[in-house]
Amino acid sequence: MSSAPSFKRLPRAVREQQMLDAAVKVFSRRGYHAASMDEIAEDAGISKPMVYAYLGTKEELFVACLQREGTRMTEAIAGAAAPELPADERLWRGLRAFFGFVGAHRDGWAVLYRQARGEQPFAGELAAMRARLVEVVAGMLDHALRAEGREIAGTELEVVAYALVGASESLADWLADHPEADPERTATRMMNVAWLGADQLLNGVTWHPSAG
Amino acid sequence: MSSAPSFKRLPRAVREQQMLDAAVKVFSRRGYHAASMDEIAEDAGISKPMVYAYLGTKEELFVACLQREGTRMTEAIAGAAAPELPADERLWRGLRAFFGFVGAHRDGWAVLYRQARGEQPFAGELAAMRARLVEVVAGMLDHALRAEGREIAGTELEVVAYALVGASESLADWLADHPEADPERTATRMMNVAWLGADQLLNGVTWHPSAG
Amino acid sequence: MSSAPSFKRLPRAVREQQMLDAAVKVFSRRGYHAASMDEIAEDAGISKPMVYAYLGTKEELFVACLQREGTRMTEAIAGAAAPELPADERLWRGLRAFFGFVGAHRDGWAVLYRQARGEQPFAGELAAMRARLVEVVAGMLDHALRAEGREIAGTELEVVAYALVGASESLADWLADHPEADPERTATRMMNVAWLGADQLLNGVTWHPSAG
Amino acid sequence: MSSAPSFKRLPRAVREQQMLDAAVKVFSRRGYHAASMDEIAEDAGISKPMVYAYLGTKEELFVACLQREGTRMTEAIAGAAAPELPADERLWRGLRAFFGFVGAHRDGWAVLYRQARGEQPFAGELAAMRARLVEVVAGMLDHALRAEGREIAGTELEVVAYALVGASESLADWLADHPEADPERTATRMMNVAWLGADQLLNGVTWHPSAG
DNA sequence: CATGAATGAGTCTTCATTCAT
DNA sequence: TATGAATGAAGACTCATTCAT
When pLDDT is averaged across residues A40-57 and rounded to a whole number, the result is 96
At residue C197, the pLDDT reads 76
- Distance spanning both ends of chain C, measured CA to CA: 51
Residue of C34, C170, C171 with shortest CB distance to D33: C34
> What's the CA gap between D137 and B113, in Å, rounded?
75
Asked whether residue A206 carries a pLDDT value surpassing 80, the answer given is no
Chain-centroid distance, C-alpha A112: 7
Taking residues D40-66, what's their average pLDDT? 95
pLDDT for C25:
96
Q: Give which of B134, B199, B206 to mutate to test A binding, by max A Cβ within 10 Å.
A: B199
CB of A11 within 7 Å of some strand F atom: no
**Contacting residues for D111 by C-beta, under 8 A, at least 6 apart:** D24, D27, D28, D62, D65, D66, D69
A32-41, A65-74, B83-92, C161-170 — which is least confidently predicted?
A: B83-92
pLDDT on residue B212? 44
Check whether A212 has a pLDDT greater than 50: no
Greater pLDDT, B123 or C200? B123
**pLDDT band per the 50, 70, 90 thresholds, residue D205:** low
What integer pLDDT is reported at residue A47 of this predicted model?
Answer: 95
Q: Please tell me the predicted confidence (pLDDT) of residue D16.
A: 94
- Quickly state the pLDDT bin for A88 (edges 50, 70, 90): confident
The yes-or-no verdict on residue C1 having pLDDT over 70 is no
- D116-D119-D124 Cα angle (round to 5): 70
Subunits close to A (at least 3 CB pairs below 8 A) = B
A190 versus B47: which is more confidently predicted? B47
Give the confidence band of A66 by pLDDT, cuts at 50, 70, 90: very high
- Contact between C209 and C92 under an 8 Å Cβ cutoff? The reply is yes
| Contact in structure between C100 and C185 (CB atoms under 8 Å) | no
Predicted local confidence at residue D141, as pLDDT: 81
Give the CA-to-C1' distance from C58 to E9 in angstroms.
20
Q: How many helices (H) and strands (E) does chain C have?
A: 10, 0
Mean per-residue pLDDT for B12-25?
97
* Rounded Cα distance, A169 and A112, in Å: 11
The pLDDT of A153-164, averaged and rounded, is: 82
Residue B2 pLDDT: 42
Chains B and A touch (3+ CB pairs under 8 A): yes
> Which nucleotide is nearest, taking the CA of residue A49 and each C1'?
F3
Whether residue D80 contacts residue D94, with contact meaning beta carbons closer than 8 Å, is answered with: yes
* Cβ pairs A/B, distance under 8 A: 155
Q: For position C132, what pLDDT does the model report?
A: 86
Exposure of B71 by Cβ count < 10 A (0-12 exposed, 13-18 middle, 19+ buried)?
Answer: exposed
Q: What is the mean pLDDT of residues C65-83?
A: 89
What domains appear along chain B, each with residue ranges and CATH number?
66-202 (1.10.357.10)
Q: What is the pLDDT of residue D4?
A: 42
Distance of CA C42 to the CA centre of its chain: 26
Structure confidence at residue C49 (pLDDT): 97
Residue C50 contacts by C-beta under 8 Å, 6 or more apart in sequence? C15, C19, C41
* CA distances in angstroms from C82 to C89, C97, C144, C165, listed in the order given: 9, 12, 13, 18
Instruction: Share the mean pLDDT of chain B.
Output: 86
Contact B138, A199 (CB under 8 A): no
- pLDDT of A10 above 60: yes
Task: Using pLDDT thresholds of 50, 70 and 90, give the confidence band for residue D9.
Answer: low
Residue C6 pLDDT class (50, 70, 90 cuts):
very low
pLDDT digits (tens, 9 = 90+) for D70-91: 999 988 988 888 778 888 888 8
> Is the Cβ atom of B156 within 7 Å of strand F at any atom?
no
- If pLDDT is split at 50, 70 and 90, which confidence band does C5 have? very low
**For all residues of chain D together, what is the average pLDDT?**
85
Question: What's the pLDDT score for residue C36?
Answer: 97
pLDDT at C11 over 50: yes
Quick one: which residue's CA is nearest to E10's C1'? C36
Q: Is the pLDDT of residue D46 over 70?
A: yes
Choose among D150, D171, D203: nearest Cβ to C166.
D171
pLDDT score for D3: 43
Query: For C143-184, what is each residue's pLDDT tens digit?
Result: 877 877 777 777 778 888 888 899 999 999 888 888 899 999
**D121-146 per-position pLDDT tens digit:** 898 888 888 888 888 888 888 887 78
**Residues 6+ positions from B111 with CB-CB distance below 8 Å:** B24, B27, B28, B62, B65, B66, B69
In this model, does residue D104 exceed pLDDT 80? yes
The per-residue pLDDT for C203 is: 67
For an interface test with A, which of B90, B202, B207 has the most A Cβ atoms less than 10 Å from its Cβ? B202
Whether nucleic acid strand F comes within 7 Å of the CB of D53, the answer is no
Q: Is B141 exposed, middle or buried (0-12, 13-18, 19+ CB in 10 A)?
A: buried
The amino acid at residue C184 is E
DSSP assignments along D80-106, one per residue:
T--TTS-HHHHHHHHHHHHHHHHHH-H
Instruction: Pinpoint the alpha helices (H) of chain A.
Output: 12-30, 37-44, 48-55, 58-78, 87-104, 106-109, 116-118, 120-147, 154-177, 183-202
Q: Which bases of chain F come closer than 7 Å to a protein CB? A: 1-21
Distance CA D143, CA D150 (A): 10
Q: Work out the pLDDT band at D183, boundaries 50, 70, 90.
A: very high
| Secondary structure letter of residue A210 according to DSSP | S
Name the minimum distance, in Å, from the CA of D2 to any CA of chain C.
47
A191-205, C81-95, D141-155: which is most confident: C81-95
What is the per-residue pLDDT for B7? 54
In this prediction, residue D1 carries a pLDDT of 41
- In this complex, do B198 and A195 lie within 8 Å of one another by their Cβ atoms? yes
Report pLDDT for C2.
Answer: 42
Indicate yes or no: strand F within 7 A of the C-beta of D59.
Answer: yes
At B31-65, the pLDDT tens digits run: 999 999 999 999 999 999 999 999 999 999 999 99
- Of the partner residues B119, B171, B196, the one whose CB lies closest to the CB of residue A199: B196
The closest CB to that of B163, out of A159, A162, A190, belongs to A190
Structure-model confidence comparison of residues C118 and B71, the more confident one: B71
B25 CB inside 7 Å of strand F: no
Higher model confidence: residue D38 or residue D143? D38
Report pLDDT for B105: 94
Mean pLDDT of D18-47: 95
